Structure 1
Amino acid sequence: MFTEKEVKAPNGIMFIVVLLAIQIATIAVFINGAKNGEIGQAILGIVLAIVAFICWFGFFMVNPKEARVLQLFGKYVGTVHDSGLRWANPFYTKARVSMRVRNFESGKLKVNEKNGNPIEIAAVIVWEVTDTAEAIFQVDDYEDFVSIQSESALRNLATSYPYDNHEEHEISLRSDPIEISEALKQEVQERLDKAGVRVIEARISHLAYAPEIANAMLRRQQAMAIIAARQKVVEGAVGMVEMALNSLSERDIVELDSERKAAMVSNLLVVLCSDEAAQPVVNTGSLY
Protein backbone atom coordinates (compact mmCIF):
# COMPACT_ATOMS: atom_id res chain seq x y z
CA MET A 1 0.00 0.00 0.00
CA PHE A 2 1.49 3.33 -1.07
CA THR A 3 0.93 6.59 0.80
CA GLU A 4 1.92 10.00 -0.48
CA LYS A 5 5.15 11.44 0.94
CA GLU A 6 5.71 15.11 0.22
CA VAL A 7 9.28 16.20 -0.50
CA LYS A 8 10.76 19.62 -1.14
CA ALA A 9 12.66 20.27 -4.37
CA PRO A 10 15.16 23.15 -4.49
CA ASN A 11 14.31 26.32 -6.37
CA GLY A 12 15.28 25.93 -10.02
CA ILE A 13 16.35 29.56 -10.50
CA MET A 14 19.00 29.20 -7.79
CA PHE A 15 20.29 26.01 -9.39
CA ILE A 16 20.60 27.70 -12.79
CA VAL A 17 23.00 30.21 -11.24
CA VAL A 18 24.92 27.44 -9.46
CA LEU A 19 25.23 25.27 -12.57
CA LEU A 20 26.31 28.21 -14.70
CA ALA A 21 29.03 28.98 -12.16
CA ILE A 22 30.12 25.33 -12.09
CA GLN A 23 30.09 25.15 -15.89
CA ILE A 24 32.32 28.23 -16.16
CA ALA A 25 34.65 26.87 -13.47
CA THR A 26 35.03 23.50 -15.24
CA ILE A 27 35.84 25.21 -18.51
CA ALA A 28 38.48 27.30 -16.72
CA VAL A 29 39.96 24.17 -15.10
CA PHE A 30 40.12 22.38 -18.45
CA ILE A 31 41.74 25.33 -20.24
CA ASN A 32 44.23 25.85 -17.42
CA GLY A 33 45.18 22.16 -17.40
CA ALA A 34 45.54 22.00 -21.16
CA LYS A 35 47.61 25.19 -21.24
CA ASN A 36 49.98 24.03 -18.50
CA GLY A 37 50.19 20.47 -19.83
CA GLU A 38 48.55 18.97 -16.76
CA ILE A 39 46.58 16.02 -18.19
CA GLY A 40 44.97 15.14 -14.85
CA GLN A 41 43.59 18.63 -14.41
CA ALA A 42 42.29 18.66 -17.97
CA ILE A 43 40.57 15.29 -17.49
CA LEU A 44 39.07 16.55 -14.20
CA GLY A 45 37.69 19.57 -16.05
CA ILE A 46 36.11 17.31 -18.70
CA VAL A 47 34.55 15.02 -16.03
CA LEU A 48 33.15 17.99 -14.10
CA ALA A 49 31.76 19.48 -17.32
CA ILE A 50 29.98 16.19 -18.11
CA VAL A 51 28.53 16.03 -14.59
CA ALA A 52 27.36 19.65 -14.83
CA PHE A 53 25.81 18.90 -18.24
CA ILE A 54 23.87 15.93 -16.80
CA CYS A 55 22.62 18.11 -13.94
CA TRP A 56 20.87 20.38 -16.45
CA PHE A 57 18.36 17.54 -17.04
CA GLY A 58 17.20 17.78 -13.42
CA PHE A 59 15.03 20.85 -14.02
CA PHE A 60 11.26 20.45 -14.17
CA MET A 61 8.21 22.68 -13.96
CA VAL A 62 5.37 22.28 -11.48
CA ASN A 63 2.22 24.17 -12.44
CA PRO A 64 -0.37 25.41 -9.90
CA LYS A 65 -2.71 22.62 -8.69
CA GLU A 66 -0.29 20.04 -10.05
CA ALA A 67 2.17 17.59 -8.49
CA ARG A 68 5.19 15.59 -9.66
CA VAL A 69 5.72 12.04 -8.40
CA LEU A 70 9.46 11.26 -8.18
CA GLN A 71 10.91 7.77 -8.66
CA LEU A 72 14.50 6.57 -8.69
CA PHE A 73 14.99 3.35 -10.64
CA GLY A 74 11.49 2.16 -9.78
CA LYS A 75 11.53 3.24 -6.13
CA TYR A 76 9.07 5.88 -4.93
CA VAL A 77 10.96 8.89 -3.57
CA GLY A 78 8.22 11.42 -2.88
CA THR A 79 5.85 13.98 -4.36
CA VAL A 80 6.60 17.64 -5.08
CA HIS A 81 3.66 20.04 -4.69
CA ASP A 82 5.47 23.40 -4.67
CA SER A 83 4.77 25.19 -7.95
CA GLY A 84 7.39 26.87 -10.10
CA LEU A 85 10.73 25.84 -11.61
CA ARG A 86 12.29 23.07 -9.51
CA TRP A 87 15.39 20.92 -9.59
CA ALA A 88 15.85 17.31 -8.52
CA ASN A 89 18.16 14.42 -9.22
CA PRO A 90 18.35 14.15 -13.03
CA PHE A 91 17.95 10.37 -12.74
CA TYR A 92 14.53 10.77 -11.13
CA THR A 93 11.49 10.07 -13.27
CA LYS A 94 8.93 12.81 -12.71
CA ALA A 95 5.32 11.78 -13.37
CA ARG A 96 2.84 14.64 -13.67
CA VAL A 97 -0.42 14.35 -11.70
CA SER A 98 -3.14 16.98 -11.92
CA MET A 99 -4.69 17.99 -8.59
CA ARG A 100 -7.44 20.02 -10.24
CA VAL A 101 -11.14 19.30 -9.77
CA ARG A 102 -12.45 17.38 -12.76
CA ASN A 103 -15.79 16.19 -14.14
CA PHE A 104 -16.70 12.80 -15.50
CA GLU A 105 -20.01 12.47 -17.32
CA SER A 106 -21.14 8.96 -18.11
CA GLY A 107 -22.95 8.11 -21.30
CA LYS A 108 -26.59 7.07 -21.22
CA LEU A 109 -26.68 3.61 -19.67
CA LYS A 110 -29.60 1.27 -20.31
CA VAL A 111 -30.31 -0.82 -17.20
CA ASN A 112 -33.23 -2.43 -15.42
CA GLU A 113 -34.36 -0.66 -12.28
CA LYS A 114 -35.44 -2.46 -9.09
CA ASN A 115 -38.84 -3.46 -10.50
CA GLY A 116 -37.32 -4.77 -13.73
CA ASN A 117 -38.34 -1.88 -15.97
CA PRO A 118 -35.69 -0.80 -18.52
CA ILE A 119 -34.53 2.79 -18.01
CA GLU A 120 -31.90 5.17 -19.35
CA ILE A 121 -29.67 6.80 -16.77
CA ALA A 122 -26.56 9.00 -16.78
CA ALA A 123 -24.59 10.78 -14.06
CA VAL A 124 -21.98 13.50 -13.51
CA ILE A 125 -19.15 12.77 -11.08
CA VAL A 126 -17.01 15.65 -9.75
CA TRP A 127 -13.68 14.36 -8.40
CA GLU A 128 -10.08 15.21 -7.59
CA VAL A 129 -6.86 13.36 -6.74
CA THR A 130 -5.92 13.58 -3.06
CA ASP A 131 -3.13 10.97 -2.86
CA THR A 132 -0.74 11.02 -5.81
CA ALA A 133 1.12 7.87 -4.74
CA GLU A 134 -2.05 5.78 -4.74
CA ALA A 135 -3.21 7.32 -8.02
CA ILE A 136 0.05 6.40 -9.78
CA PHE A 137 0.96 3.06 -8.19
CA GLN A 138 -2.30 1.44 -7.10
CA VAL A 139 -3.99 1.46 -10.53
CA ASP A 140 -2.76 1.42 -14.13
CA ASP A 141 -4.59 4.57 -15.24
CA TYR A 142 -6.48 6.46 -12.55
CA GLU A 143 -8.56 8.48 -15.03
CA ASP A 144 -9.74 5.32 -16.80
CA PHE A 145 -10.32 3.73 -13.39
CA VAL A 146 -12.58 6.62 -12.37
CA SER A 147 -14.70 6.33 -15.52
CA ILE A 148 -15.15 2.55 -15.34
CA GLN A 149 -15.86 2.40 -11.62
CA SER A 150 -18.28 5.35 -11.79
CA GLU A 151 -20.34 3.67 -14.51
CA SER A 152 -20.29 0.41 -12.56
CA ALA A 153 -21.52 2.18 -9.42
CA LEU A 154 -24.25 3.93 -11.42
CA ARG A 155 -25.48 0.61 -12.83
CA ASN A 156 -25.58 -0.93 -9.37
CA LEU A 157 -27.45 2.08 -7.96
CA ALA A 158 -30.06 1.95 -10.73
CA THR A 159 -30.83 -1.70 -9.97
CA SER A 160 -31.21 -0.97 -6.25
CA TYR A 161 -34.03 1.61 -6.48
CA PRO A 162 -37.31 1.82 -8.41
CA TYR A 163 -37.83 4.52 -11.00
CA ASP A 164 -40.87 5.91 -9.18
CA ASN A 165 -42.23 5.49 -5.65
CA HIS A 166 -45.37 3.42 -6.14
CA GLU A 167 -45.34 2.63 -2.42
CA GLU A 168 -45.43 5.18 0.38
CA HIS A 169 -42.07 6.14 1.95
CA GLU A 170 -40.11 4.29 -0.74
CA ILE A 171 -37.02 6.07 -2.08
CA SER A 172 -37.05 6.27 -5.87
CA LEU A 173 -34.72 7.52 -8.57
CA ARG A 174 -37.14 10.19 -9.81
CA SER A 175 -38.73 11.47 -6.61
CA ASP A 176 -35.74 11.61 -4.24
CA PRO A 177 -32.80 13.26 -6.07
CA ILE A 178 -30.98 14.33 -2.89
CA GLU A 179 -30.99 10.86 -1.32
CA ILE A 180 -30.07 9.22 -4.62
CA SER A 181 -27.17 11.64 -5.19
CA GLU A 182 -25.80 10.93 -1.72
CA ALA A 183 -26.11 7.17 -2.22
CA LEU A 184 -24.34 7.42 -5.59
CA LYS A 185 -21.57 9.55 -4.09
CA GLN A 186 -20.94 7.03 -1.30
CA GLU A 187 -20.90 4.07 -3.66
CA VAL A 188 -18.51 5.73 -6.11
CA GLN A 189 -16.25 6.86 -3.25
CA GLU A 190 -15.99 3.32 -1.89
CA ARG A 191 -14.76 2.13 -5.27
CA LEU A 192 -12.27 4.98 -5.78
CA ASP A 193 -10.68 5.08 -2.31
CA LYS A 194 -7.95 2.69 -3.42
CA ALA A 195 -6.96 5.05 -6.26
CA GLY A 196 -6.41 8.10 -4.03
CA VAL A 197 -9.42 9.91 -5.47
CA ARG A 198 -12.02 11.95 -3.56
CA VAL A 199 -15.55 12.31 -4.92
CA ILE A 200 -16.78 15.86 -4.38
CA GLU A 201 -20.23 15.51 -5.92
CA ALA A 202 -22.28 12.91 -7.75
CA ARG A 203 -25.66 13.55 -9.31
CA ILE A 204 -28.02 12.07 -11.90
CA SER A 205 -27.90 14.07 -15.14
CA HIS A 206 -30.37 12.02 -17.21
CA LEU A 207 -33.21 9.73 -16.17
CA ALA A 208 -35.97 8.34 -18.36
CA TYR A 209 -37.77 5.15 -19.21
CA ALA A 210 -36.35 3.24 -22.17
CA PRO A 211 -38.05 4.21 -25.47
CA GLU A 212 -39.77 0.84 -25.88
CA ILE A 213 -41.82 1.29 -22.68
CA ALA A 214 -41.91 5.08 -22.39
CA ASN A 215 -45.46 5.46 -23.80
CA ALA A 216 -46.89 2.69 -21.63
CA MET A 217 -45.24 4.10 -18.50
CA LEU A 218 -46.50 7.60 -19.33
CA ARG A 219 -50.07 6.30 -19.48
CA ARG A 220 -49.49 4.49 -16.20
CA GLN A 221 -48.24 7.66 -14.54
CA GLN A 222 -51.22 9.61 -15.88
CA ALA A 223 -53.64 6.96 -14.58
CA MET A 224 -51.99 6.96 -11.15
CA ALA A 225 -52.14 10.75 -11.04
CA ILE A 226 -55.86 10.70 -11.89
CA ILE A 227 -56.53 8.06 -9.22
CA ALA A 228 -54.63 10.06 -6.60
CA ALA A 229 -56.53 13.22 -7.52
CA ARG A 230 -59.87 11.39 -7.36
CA GLN A 231 -59.01 10.05 -3.91
CA LYS A 232 -58.38 13.59 -2.65
CA VAL A 233 -61.63 14.82 -4.20
CA VAL A 234 -63.66 12.02 -2.62
CA GLU A 235 -62.03 12.55 0.79
CA GLY A 236 -62.88 16.23 0.64
CA ALA A 237 -66.42 15.59 -0.59
CA VAL A 238 -67.14 13.11 2.22
CA GLY A 239 -65.94 15.63 4.77
CA MET A 240 -68.14 18.37 3.31
CA VAL A 241 -71.20 16.10 3.27
CA GLU A 242 -70.57 15.13 6.90
CA MET A 243 -70.22 18.79 7.85
CA ALA A 244 -73.47 19.67 6.03
CA LEU A 245 -75.48 16.92 7.76
CA ASN A 246 -74.08 17.86 11.18
CA SER A 247 -74.89 21.55 10.62
CA LEU A 248 -78.48 20.76 9.58
CA SER A 249 -78.93 18.55 12.63
CA GLU A 250 -77.37 20.99 15.12
CA ARG A 251 -79.38 23.98 13.88
CA ASP A 252 -82.60 21.92 13.68
CA ILE A 253 -83.30 23.29 10.21
CA VAL A 254 -84.91 20.14 8.85
CA GLU A 255 -85.40 16.60 10.02
CA LEU A 256 -84.40 13.92 7.55
CA ASP A 257 -85.13 10.24 7.83
CA SER A 258 -82.54 7.65 6.77
CA GLU A 259 -83.89 7.38 3.22
CA ARG A 260 -83.78 11.13 2.58
CA LYS A 261 -80.35 11.40 4.23
CA ALA A 262 -79.10 8.78 1.81
CA ALA A 263 -80.64 10.70 -1.11
CA MET A 264 -79.07 13.95 0.11
CA VAL A 265 -75.65 12.33 0.52
CA SER A 266 -75.91 10.85 -2.98
CA ASN A 267 -76.86 14.21 -4.51
CA LEU A 268 -74.09 16.10 -2.68
CA LEU A 269 -71.45 13.56 -3.70
CA VAL A 270 -72.57 13.78 -7.32
CA VAL A 271 -72.33 17.57 -7.21
CA LEU A 272 -68.97 17.67 -5.42
CA CYS A 273 -67.24 14.85 -7.32
CA SER A 274 -68.55 15.61 -10.81
CA ASP A 275 -66.09 16.84 -13.47
CA GLU A 276 -68.76 19.19 -14.85
CA ALA A 277 -70.96 21.77 -13.15
CA ALA A 278 -74.18 20.26 -11.79
CA GLN A 279 -77.53 21.32 -13.29
CA PRO A 280 -79.88 21.94 -10.33
CA VAL A 281 -83.53 20.89 -10.44
CA VAL A 282 -85.85 23.08 -8.37
CA ASN A 283 -88.56 21.08 -6.55
CA THR A 284 -91.70 23.26 -6.21
CA GLY A 285 -93.87 20.53 -4.75
CA SER A 286 -94.17 19.15 -1.24
CA LEU A 287 -91.21 17.43 0.36
CA TYR A 288 -93.41 14.36 0.88
Structure 2
Amino acid sequence: MKTEKIIQPPSGYLTLAIFLLLLIGGIYLFAIRQFAWASAVLVIDFILVLPGLIIVNPNESKVLTLFGKYVGTVKSEGFFWVNPLTTKKKLSLRARNLNGQQLKVNDKMGNPIEIAAVIVWQVKETAKASFAVEDYLQYVNIQSEAAVRHLANSFAYDSLEDENAQITLKDGAEKVNNLLEEELNERLSRAGIEIIEARISHLAYAQEIASAMLQRQQAAAVIAARKLIVEGAVGMVEMALERLSEKEIVKLDEERKAAMVSNLLVVLCGDRNAQPVVNTGTLYN
Protein backbone atom coordinates (compact mmCIF):
# COMPACT_ATOMS: atom_id res chain seq x y z
CA MET A 1 0.00 0.00 0.00
CA LYS A 2 1.38 3.39 -1.04
CA THR A 3 2.32 5.89 1.65
CA GLU A 4 1.60 9.52 0.97
CA LYS A 5 4.65 11.56 -0.03
CA ILE A 6 4.20 15.32 0.09
CA ILE A 7 6.39 17.32 -2.28
CA GLN A 8 6.93 21.07 -2.71
CA PRO A 9 7.59 21.88 -6.41
CA PRO A 10 9.15 25.16 -7.53
CA SER A 11 7.01 28.23 -8.17
CA GLY A 12 5.37 28.40 -11.57
CA TYR A 13 5.82 32.14 -12.09
CA LEU A 14 9.41 31.85 -13.34
CA THR A 15 8.40 29.04 -15.67
CA LEU A 16 5.48 31.13 -16.91
CA ALA A 17 7.91 33.94 -17.73
CA ILE A 18 10.13 31.46 -19.63
CA PHE A 19 7.04 30.20 -21.50
CA LEU A 20 6.10 33.71 -22.58
CA LEU A 21 9.67 34.49 -23.67
CA LEU A 22 9.85 31.31 -25.74
CA LEU A 23 6.45 32.08 -27.23
CA ILE A 24 7.58 35.55 -28.23
CA GLY A 25 10.83 34.09 -29.59
CA GLY A 26 8.94 31.51 -31.66
CA ILE A 27 6.66 34.17 -33.11
CA TYR A 28 9.68 36.33 -33.95
CA LEU A 29 11.41 33.41 -35.69
CA PHE A 30 8.27 32.82 -37.75
CA ALA A 31 8.27 36.48 -38.65
CA ILE A 32 11.85 36.30 -39.98
CA ARG A 33 11.02 33.05 -41.78
CA GLN A 34 13.15 30.79 -39.58
CA PHE A 35 10.46 28.13 -39.64
CA ALA A 36 12.57 25.22 -38.45
CA TRP A 37 13.85 27.07 -35.40
CA ALA A 38 10.46 28.59 -34.73
CA SER A 39 8.80 25.18 -34.80
CA ALA A 40 11.41 23.70 -32.46
CA VAL A 41 11.04 26.56 -29.98
CA LEU A 42 7.22 26.35 -29.99
CA VAL A 43 7.27 22.56 -29.64
CA ILE A 44 9.52 22.85 -26.59
CA ASP A 45 7.36 25.67 -25.23
CA PHE A 46 4.00 23.90 -25.55
CA ILE A 47 5.10 20.32 -24.86
CA LEU A 48 7.82 20.61 -22.21
CA VAL A 49 7.10 23.93 -20.47
CA LEU A 50 3.37 24.70 -20.49
CA PRO A 51 2.04 21.23 -19.43
CA GLY A 52 4.16 21.41 -16.27
CA LEU A 53 2.28 24.43 -14.91
CA ILE A 54 -0.32 23.52 -12.27
CA ILE A 55 -2.64 25.47 -9.99
CA VAL A 56 -3.55 24.00 -6.59
CA ASN A 57 -6.60 25.60 -4.99
CA PRO A 58 -7.21 25.73 -1.20
CA ASN A 59 -8.17 22.33 0.25
CA GLU A 60 -7.22 20.56 -2.96
CA SER A 61 -4.24 18.44 -3.94
CA LYS A 62 -2.54 17.10 -7.05
CA VAL A 63 -1.38 13.48 -7.11
CA LEU A 64 1.53 13.05 -9.50
CA THR A 65 2.55 9.83 -11.27
CA LEU A 66 5.32 9.34 -13.80
CA PHE A 67 5.15 6.33 -16.13
CA GLY A 68 3.06 4.40 -13.61
CA LYS A 69 5.19 5.34 -10.58
CA TYR A 70 3.87 7.48 -7.75
CA VAL A 71 5.98 10.64 -7.52
CA GLY A 72 4.25 12.55 -4.73
CA THR A 73 1.37 14.81 -3.78
CA VAL A 74 1.22 18.59 -3.88
CA LYS A 75 -0.97 19.90 -1.06
CA SER A 76 0.26 23.48 -0.81
CA GLU A 77 -2.02 25.96 -2.51
CA GLY A 78 -0.51 28.10 -5.22
CA PHE A 79 1.00 28.14 -8.72
CA PHE A 80 3.75 25.55 -9.40
CA TRP A 81 5.72 23.84 -12.13
CA VAL A 82 6.26 20.09 -12.12
CA ASN A 83 7.65 17.54 -14.52
CA PRO A 84 5.48 18.00 -17.64
CA LEU A 85 5.50 14.25 -18.30
CA THR A 86 3.76 13.43 -15.02
CA THR A 87 0.08 12.60 -14.83
CA LYS A 88 -1.73 15.02 -12.55
CA LYS A 89 -4.86 13.92 -10.69
CA LYS A 90 -6.85 16.46 -8.70
CA LEU A 91 -8.12 15.26 -5.33
CA SER A 92 -10.33 17.35 -3.06
CA LEU A 93 -9.43 17.59 0.63
CA ARG A 94 -12.66 19.31 1.61
CA ALA A 95 -15.03 17.81 4.16
CA ARG A 96 -18.01 16.05 2.60
CA ASN A 97 -21.42 14.95 3.84
CA LEU A 98 -22.83 11.51 3.23
CA ASN A 99 -26.55 11.40 3.96
CA GLY A 100 -27.09 7.65 4.09
CA GLN A 101 -30.33 6.16 2.83
CA GLN A 102 -32.75 4.49 5.24
CA LEU A 103 -31.85 0.83 5.68
CA LYS A 104 -34.23 -1.88 6.82
CA VAL A 105 -32.31 -4.28 9.06
CA ASN A 106 -32.82 -6.48 12.12
CA ASP A 107 -31.60 -5.36 15.52
CA LYS A 108 -29.89 -7.67 18.01
CA MET A 109 -33.24 -9.15 19.09
CA GLY A 110 -34.33 -9.82 15.50
CA ASN A 111 -36.86 -6.99 15.23
CA PRO A 112 -36.97 -5.21 11.85
CA ILE A 113 -36.01 -1.55 12.19
CA GLU A 114 -35.26 1.40 9.92
CA ILE A 115 -31.96 3.18 10.45
CA ALA A 116 -29.92 5.84 8.64
CA ALA A 117 -26.80 7.87 9.43
CA VAL A 118 -25.19 11.16 8.43
CA ILE A 119 -21.41 10.95 8.01
CA VAL A 120 -18.91 13.79 7.60
CA TRP A 121 -15.63 12.64 6.03
CA GLN A 122 -12.60 13.87 4.11
CA VAL A 123 -9.58 12.49 2.31
CA LYS A 124 -6.60 12.33 4.66
CA GLU A 125 -4.02 10.35 2.64
CA THR A 126 -4.20 10.98 -1.08
CA ALA A 127 -1.98 8.06 -2.06
CA LYS A 128 -4.26 5.49 -0.44
CA ALA A 129 -7.38 7.16 -1.85
CA SER A 130 -5.86 7.07 -5.35
CA PHE A 131 -4.17 3.67 -5.42
CA ALA A 132 -5.46 1.45 -2.57
CA VAL A 133 -9.08 1.25 -3.79
CA GLU A 134 -10.72 1.35 -7.21
CA ASP A 135 -13.13 4.23 -6.48
CA TYR A 136 -12.85 5.84 -3.07
CA LEU A 137 -16.28 7.54 -3.35
CA GLN A 138 -18.03 4.25 -3.96
CA TYR A 139 -15.87 2.63 -1.29
CA VAL A 140 -17.06 5.19 1.29
CA ASN A 141 -20.72 4.62 0.37
CA ILE A 142 -20.57 0.83 0.55
CA GLN A 143 -18.48 0.61 3.71
CA SER A 144 -20.64 3.20 5.46
CA GLU A 145 -23.76 1.18 4.74
CA ALA A 146 -22.03 -1.99 5.97
CA ALA A 147 -20.98 -0.25 9.21
CA VAL A 148 -24.51 1.00 9.90
CA ARG A 149 -25.94 -2.47 9.29
CA HIS A 150 -23.37 -4.03 11.64
CA LEU A 151 -24.16 -1.44 14.32
CA ALA A 152 -27.90 -2.16 14.08
CA ASN A 153 -27.27 -5.92 14.35
CA SER A 154 -25.11 -5.44 17.46
CA PHE A 155 -27.61 -3.71 19.76
CA ALA A 156 -31.27 -3.92 20.69
CA TYR A 157 -33.60 -1.11 19.67
CA ASP A 158 -34.44 -0.23 23.28
CA SER A 159 -34.29 -1.63 26.81
CA LEU A 160 -37.78 -3.14 26.53
CA GLU A 161 -36.30 -5.76 24.22
CA ASP A 162 -33.19 -6.43 26.29
CA GLU A 163 -33.48 -5.36 29.93
CA ASN A 164 -29.84 -6.23 30.64
CA ALA A 165 -28.46 -4.17 27.75
CA GLN A 166 -26.10 -1.39 28.78
CA ILE A 167 -26.30 0.27 25.37
CA THR A 168 -29.33 0.41 23.08
CA LEU A 169 -29.80 2.09 19.71
CA LYS A 170 -32.55 4.35 21.02
CA ASP A 171 -31.03 5.38 24.34
CA GLY A 172 -27.31 4.98 23.59
CA ALA A 173 -27.08 8.28 21.66
CA GLU A 174 -23.49 9.50 22.10
CA LYS A 175 -22.05 6.03 22.78
CA VAL A 176 -23.72 4.58 19.68
CA ASN A 177 -22.45 7.47 17.54
CA ASN A 178 -18.92 7.04 18.91
CA LEU A 179 -18.98 3.32 18.14
CA LEU A 180 -20.16 4.03 14.61
CA GLU A 181 -17.41 6.61 14.13
CA GLU A 182 -14.74 4.21 15.38
CA GLU A 183 -15.89 1.41 13.08
CA LEU A 184 -16.04 3.71 10.08
CA ASN A 185 -12.51 4.99 10.72
CA GLU A 186 -11.30 1.40 10.93
CA ARG A 187 -13.08 0.36 7.73
CA LEU A 188 -12.11 3.44 5.70
CA SER A 189 -8.50 3.79 6.83
CA ARG A 190 -7.49 1.53 3.92
CA ALA A 191 -8.68 4.22 1.51
CA GLY A 192 -7.03 7.07 3.42
CA ILE A 193 -10.39 8.45 4.58
CA GLU A 194 -10.89 10.18 7.94
CA ILE A 195 -14.31 10.30 9.60
CA ILE A 196 -14.91 13.70 11.20
CA GLU A 197 -18.36 12.95 12.58
CA ALA A 198 -20.96 10.19 12.37
CA ARG A 199 -24.50 10.48 13.71
CA ILE A 200 -27.64 8.33 13.57
CA SER A 201 -30.16 10.51 11.71
CA HIS A 202 -33.16 8.15 11.60
CA LEU A 203 -34.22 5.30 13.86
CA ALA A 204 -37.63 3.64 14.02
CA TYR A 205 -39.34 0.29 14.01
CA ALA A 206 -40.25 -1.04 10.57
CA GLN A 207 -43.82 -0.28 9.51
CA GLU A 208 -45.05 -3.87 9.84
CA ILE A 209 -44.34 -3.94 13.60
CA ALA A 210 -44.47 -0.24 14.48
CA SER A 211 -48.11 -0.36 15.65
CA ALA A 212 -47.55 -3.44 17.82
CA MET A 213 -44.41 -1.98 19.36
CA LEU A 214 -46.21 1.30 20.10
CA GLN A 215 -48.93 -0.63 21.96
CA ARG A 216 -46.25 -2.50 23.85
CA GLN A 217 -44.52 0.72 24.86
CA GLN A 218 -47.82 2.22 25.98
CA ALA A 219 -48.62 -0.91 28.02
CA ALA A 220 -45.18 -0.78 29.63
CA ALA A 221 -45.73 2.88 30.51
CA VAL A 222 -49.13 2.09 32.07
CA ILE A 223 -47.65 -0.77 34.09
CA ALA A 224 -44.82 1.43 35.33
CA ALA A 225 -47.29 4.14 36.33
CA ARG A 226 -49.54 1.64 38.12
CA LYS A 227 -46.57 0.23 39.97
CA LEU A 228 -45.64 3.70 41.20
CA ILE A 229 -49.23 4.41 42.25
CA VAL A 230 -49.52 1.14 44.19
CA GLU A 231 -46.19 1.71 45.95
CA GLY A 232 -47.34 5.19 46.98
CA ALA A 233 -50.75 3.95 48.11
CA VAL A 234 -49.27 1.20 50.26
CA GLY A 235 -46.99 3.76 51.92
CA MET A 236 -49.91 6.07 52.63
CA VAL A 237 -52.03 3.24 54.10
CA GLU A 238 -49.13 2.15 56.29
CA MET A 239 -48.64 5.72 57.50
CA ALA A 240 -52.37 6.11 58.23
CA LEU A 241 -52.52 2.95 60.34
CA GLU A 242 -49.42 3.96 62.27
CA ARG A 243 -50.78 7.45 63.00
CA LEU A 244 -54.16 6.08 64.12
CA SER A 245 -52.41 3.67 66.44
CA GLU A 246 -50.05 6.32 67.84
CA LYS A 247 -52.84 8.84 68.50
CA GLU A 248 -55.13 6.12 69.84
CA ILE A 249 -57.96 7.66 67.85
CA VAL A 250 -59.58 4.32 67.30
CA LYS A 251 -58.68 0.76 68.11
CA LEU A 252 -58.91 -1.57 65.13
CA ASP A 253 -58.90 -5.31 65.19
CA GLU A 254 -57.43 -7.30 62.28
CA GLU A 255 -60.71 -7.48 60.39
CA ARG A 256 -61.30 -3.73 60.66
CA LYS A 257 -57.71 -3.06 59.57
CA ALA A 258 -58.21 -5.29 56.52
CA ALA A 259 -61.40 -3.46 55.60
CA MET A 260 -59.73 -0.08 56.03
CA VAL A 261 -56.74 -1.12 53.94
CA SER A 262 -59.05 -2.37 51.20
CA ASN A 263 -61.06 0.84 51.13
CA LEU A 264 -58.00 3.08 51.13
CA LEU A 265 -56.35 1.13 48.31
CA VAL A 266 -59.52 1.34 46.23
CA VAL A 267 -59.66 5.10 46.77
CA LEU A 268 -55.95 5.72 46.12
CA CYS A 269 -55.47 3.32 43.20
CA GLY A 270 -58.79 3.79 41.41
CA ASP A 271 -59.01 5.50 37.99
CA ARG A 272 -62.11 7.46 39.02
CA ASN A 273 -63.02 9.59 42.00
CA ALA A 274 -64.35 7.55 44.92
CA GLN A 275 -68.09 7.77 45.71
CA PRO A 276 -68.62 8.13 49.48
CA VAL A 277 -70.97 5.65 51.17
CA VAL A 278 -72.48 6.47 54.59
CA ASN A 279 -72.55 3.38 56.78
CA THR A 280 -75.31 3.77 59.43
CA GLY A 281 -74.74 0.34 60.88
CA THR A 282 -71.64 -1.48 62.01
CA LEU A 283 -69.02 -3.44 60.21
CA TYR A 284 -70.51 -6.68 61.43
CA ASN A 285 -74.14 -5.93 60.48
TM-score by length of 1: 0.89
Matched residue SS, 2:91: strand
| 8 Å Cα contact 2:121-2:196 kept in structure 1 | yes
Q: For the residues of structure 2 that align with 1:247 and 1:68, how far apart are their CA atoms?
A: 86
Q: For the residues of structure 2 that align with 1:244 and 1:14, how far apart are their CA atoms?
A: 98
Matched residue SS, 2:230: helix
Shift in Å, 1:177: 1.6
2:208 to 190, 194, 212: 212
Matched residue SS, 2:200: strand
Give matches, 1:79-228, under 5 Å: 79-166=73-160, 167-168=163-164, 170-228=166-224
> Can you list the C-alpha shifts for 1:207-251, whole angstroms capped at 9, x where unaligned?
111111111111111111111111111112122222222222233
> Residue in 2 aligned with 1:51?
44
Matched residue SS, 2:150: helix
Shift in Å, 1:183: 1.4
> Residue in 1 aligned with 2:17?
17
2:264 to 257, 261, 268: 268
Shift in Å, 1:258: 1.8
Shift in Å, 1:285: 4.7
> Residue in 2 aligned with 1:278?
274
Matched residue SS, 1:261: helix
Matched residue SS, 2:98: strand
> Residue in 2 aligned with 1:63?
57
Does structure 1 residue 230 correspond to structure 2 residue 226?
yes
Residue ranges of structure 2 left out of the alignment (5+ in a row): none
Shift in Å, 1:47: 3.9
Q: CA RMSD of the aligned region, Å?
A: 2.3
Q: For the residues of structure 2 that align with 1:91 and 1:4, how far apart are their CA atoms?
A: 20
> Can you list the C-alpha shifts for 1:36-89, whole angstroms capped at 9, x where unaligned?
xxxxxx867654442222111112221211111111111111111122332211
Matched residue SS, 2:146: helix
| 8 Å Cα contact 2:156-2:165 kept in structure 1 | no
Residue ranges of structure 1 left out of the alignment (5+ in a row): 35-41
Matched residue SS, 2:171: coil
Give matches, 1:31-46, under 5 Å: 46=39
Greater CA drift, 89-98 or 278-287 = 278-287
Shift in Å, 1:136: 0.8
Greater CA drift, 70-79 or 1-10 = 1-10
Shift in Å, 1:160: 0.9
Q: For the residues of structure 1 that align with 2:147 and 2:32, how far apart are their CA atoms?
A: 70
Q: For the residues of structure 2 that align with 1:44 and 1:265, how far apart are their CA atoms?
A: 117
Q: For the residues of structure 1 that align with 2:153 and 2:189, how far apart are their CA atoms?
A: 23
Q: For the residues of structure 1 that align with 2:172 and 2:126, how far apart are their CA atoms?
A: 35
| 8 Å Cα contact 2:25-2:41 kept in structure 1 | no
Matched residue SS, 1:279: coil
Greater CA drift, 151-160 or 252-261 = 252-261
Matched residue SS, 2:130: helix
> Can you list the C-alpha shifts for 1:124-172, whole angstroms capped at 9, x where unaligned?
1111111111111111111110100000011111111111112155321
Does structure 1 residue 4 correspond to structure 2 residue 4?
yes
> Residue in 2 aligned with 1:254?
250
Matched residue SS, 1:175: helix
Instruction: Supply the AA of the counterpart residue of 1:51.
Output: I
